[in-house]
C-alpha cells in the first residue's frame, strides 16, 4: 500500500484563490435537488482528460472523461491568477450573503454548503475553517474530492462529509496518481464518504465493480458524464439497469439538465 497523501498544514489567516461562489441546487448525489451554497476553489492535483498538465491551450484531450472545470487548474488554457484570493472568513461571509434568507426572514435558510474545485483538500486550513463555521450555523457541509488526499482528523471532527469521486481509466490520469489505496481505505472507514463515479461507457462499469470489491466501497453512486442534457439523459437510460443490477445508486446532473454547461450553476 502506498502511504496516504496528507495535505500540508495551512497557517491561520491563509487565503485561497476562489473560482466561483454561488447559490443553486446540489445537482448530483444524495442531496440532488437540495438548495445549496457553493464555493469552488482553484487548484487540482489531477488533470482529468489528460495524462499530465497540457502544455498548450489547444492540446487535445485523450480521455473520454474530461474535466468540466478546467478553469480551476489548466494553466495552458486559463489565467488562474485572475481568481480573487480570499480567507475562509471572507468566503463564509460571501456565502451567507448569497443565502436569500439573510435578507428575507420569511424564507428558510439554506442548510447545505458544498466545497468543490479543483481539489478542496489541497487547502486543508480553509476547508476545516469552513466546516466549523457550517456546523456552528446548523448547516451541513459536503466536500467534492477526488479521494487522493486524506482528510485531517480536524476536518472529520468538524463534521464534513465527502462526495468521493475516484477517477477511472477513462480520465487518462495514470493509475498511481488517481488511486491511493490508503486514502480510499481511510475515507471508507470514516463513515462519511459516498463514492461517486463519472461514467462514460461499459469499461468504466467494470472498473467500478473491481474498485468496489477491492476496497469494500459502500454507497456507490453512478453519474453520467456529459455537459449537455441530451448526453446526460442518454447515458442515464442505460446506466439505470446497470445500477439496479449491481446494487448501486444513480444520480443525474440536474444543473446540466436545467442550464447546460453554464458556469456558476
Binding annotation: 25-27, 40, 44, 48, 67, 69, 116, 118
pLDDT of residue 54: 96
Annotated binding-site ranges for [4Fe-4S] cluster: 44, 48, 67
**DSSP letter string over 235-247?**
HHHHHHHHHHHHT
Q: Could you give the angle at which helices 88-98 and 124-136 cross, rounded to 10 degrees? A: 40
Is residue 4 classed exposed, middle or buried when 0-12, 13-18 and 19+ CB atoms within 10 A define those classes? middle
CATH of the domain at 66: 3.20.20.70
pLDDT at position 1 is 34
Do residues 200 and 65 make contact, with C-beta atoms less than 8 angstroms apart?
Answer: yes
pLDDT score recorded for residue 250: 98
Q: Is residue 5 part of a domain?
A: no
- Within a domain: residue 3? no
User: Which residues are part of a known binding site for Mg(2+)?
Assistant: 69
Residue 63 domain-assigned (yes or no): yes
Report pTM: 0.93
SS3 label, residue 185: helix
* d(C-alpha 22, C-alpha 6), whole Å: 29
Take residue 70 and report the three cell numbers written for it. Answer: 478546467
Do 223 and 253 meet the contact criterion of CB atoms below 8 Å apart?
yes
Instruction: Summarize the annotated binding site for S-adenosyl-L-methionine as residue ranges.
Output: 118
Question: Rounded to whole angstroms, how far apart are CA atoms 181 and 137?
Answer: 34
Annotated binding site for substrate: 25-27, 40, 116
In-domain check, residue 207: yes
In this structure, are residues 124 and 130 in contact, taking their beta carbons and an 8 Å threshold?
no
pLDDT value, residue 264:
87
Is 9 a domain residue?
Answer: no
Q: Is 264 left (phi over 0), alpha (psi -120 to 50) or beta?
A: left
Return the residue matching grid coordinates 456558476. 264
For residue 3, the model assigns a pLDDT of: 35
**Spacing of C-alpha 21 from chain mean position:** 14
The per-residue pLDDT string of the chain (265 residues; one tens digit each, 9 = 90 and over) reads: 333 333 333 345 699 999 999 999 999 999 999 999 999 999 999 999 999 999 999 999 999 999 999 999 999 999 999 999 999 999 999 999 999 999 999 999 999 999 999 999 999 999 999 999 999 999 999 999 999 999 999 999 999 999 999 999 999 999 999 999 999 999 999 999 999 999 999 999 999 999 999 999 999 999 999 999 999 999 999 999 999 999 999 999 999 999 998 998 8
Q: How many domains, in total, are found in the chain?
A: 1
Backbone angles phi, psi at 205, to 5 degrees: -60, -45
Give domain status of residue 6, yes or no.
no
Q: Give the structural domain span for 185.
A: 15-259
Amino acid at each position: 500500500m502506498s502511504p496516504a497523501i496528507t495535505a500540508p498544514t495551512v497557517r491561520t489567516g491563509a487565503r485561497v484563490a476562489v473560482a466561483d461562489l454561488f447559490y443553486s441546487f446540489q445537482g448530483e448525489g444524495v442531496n440532488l435537488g437540495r438548495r445549496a451554497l457553493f464555493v469552488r476553489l482553484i487548484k487540482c492535483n489531477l488533470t482529468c482528460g489528460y495524462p499530465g498538465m497540457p502544455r498548450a491551450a489547444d492540446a487535445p484531450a485523450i480521455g473520454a472523461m474530461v474535466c468540466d472545470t478546467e478553469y480551476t487548474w489548466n494553466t495552458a488554457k486559463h489565467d488562474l491568477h485572475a481568481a480573487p484570493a480570499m480567507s475562509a472568513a471572507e468566503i463564509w461571509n460571501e456565502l451567507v450573503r448569497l443565502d436569500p434568507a439573510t435578507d428575507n426572514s420569511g424564507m428558510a435558510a439554506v442548510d447545505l454548503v458544498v466545497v468543490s474545485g479543483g481539489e478542496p483538500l489541497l487547502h486543508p486550513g480553509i476547508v476545516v475553517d469552513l466546516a466549523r463555521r457550517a456546523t456552528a450555523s446548523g448547516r451541513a457541509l459536503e466536500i467534492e474530492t477526488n479521494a487522493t488526499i486524506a482528510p485531517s482528523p480536524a476536518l472529520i471532527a468538524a463534521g464534513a462529509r465527502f462526495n468521493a469521486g475516484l477517477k477511472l481509466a477513462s480520465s487518462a490520469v495514470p493509475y498511481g496518481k488517481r488511486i491511493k489505496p490508503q486514502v480510499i481505505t481511510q475515507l471508507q472507514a470514516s463513515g462519511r464518504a459516498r463514492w461517486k463515479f463519472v461514467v462514460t461507457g461499459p469499461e468504466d462499469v467494470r472498473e467500478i465493480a473491481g474498485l468496489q470489491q477491492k476496497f469494500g466501497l459502500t454507497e456507490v453512486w453512478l453519474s453520467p458524464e456529459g455537459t449537455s442534457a441530451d448526453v446526460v439523459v442518454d447515458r442515464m437510460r442505460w446506466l439505470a439497469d446497470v445500477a439496479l443490477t449491481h446494487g448501486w445508486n444513480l444520480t443525474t446532473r440536474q444543473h446540466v439538465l436545467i442550464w447546460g454547461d453554464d458556469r456558476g450553476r
